[in-house]
Amino acid sequence: MIAYSTFGVNDMDRAIAFYDATFAPLGAVRDTTSPTWSGYVRAGDRARFFLTRPFDRAEATGGNGTMLAFLAESREAIDQFHAAALATGGTCEGPPGVREGMNPVFYAAYVRDPDGNKLCAFVRK
């Protein structure tokens, strides 16, 4: 149902460094780059993810209660996603681990990018 999603960023170069590293364990690659927007895709996925400077030129901010979740292939990929996010300026919003009460088992990690946008990587194994 979702064709593409976007996160606003304030510093495209900083955002690209963060997302190149953080998305690599999830198999996503940047295939579009410009000073005002850059895009990521994963082989076999129709949906796209873009970074953009806000159209109104105001500061980009993370939405309170807003989060994008990305499906991973393995727990190891989630661990790598989390480590890469923290190594490139992200902050932890929940370390990798099993989330209790979920069936089937839900293994996830939560981070915020340098602009405050919240992301999750998860697998149900």
Q: What confidence score (pLDDT) does residue 95 get?
A: 98
The answer to the question of residue 71 being in a domain is yes
Q: How many domains does the chain contain in total?
A: 1
SS3 content of the chain, % helix, strand, coil (to 5): 20, 40, 40
CATH of the domain at 51: 3.10.180.10
Is pLDDT above 80 for 4? Answer: yes
Q: Residues 83-108: what's their mean pLDDT?
A: 92
Q: What confidence score (pLDDT) does residue 102 get?
A: 67
CA distance 70 to 6: 13
The answer to the question of residue 26 being in a domain is yes
User: Which among 37, 31, 41, 60 is positioned nearest to 3, based on CA atoms?
Assistant: 41
Point out the least confidently predicted range of 45-49, 101-105, 120-124. Answer: 101-105
CA distance 115 to 52: 12
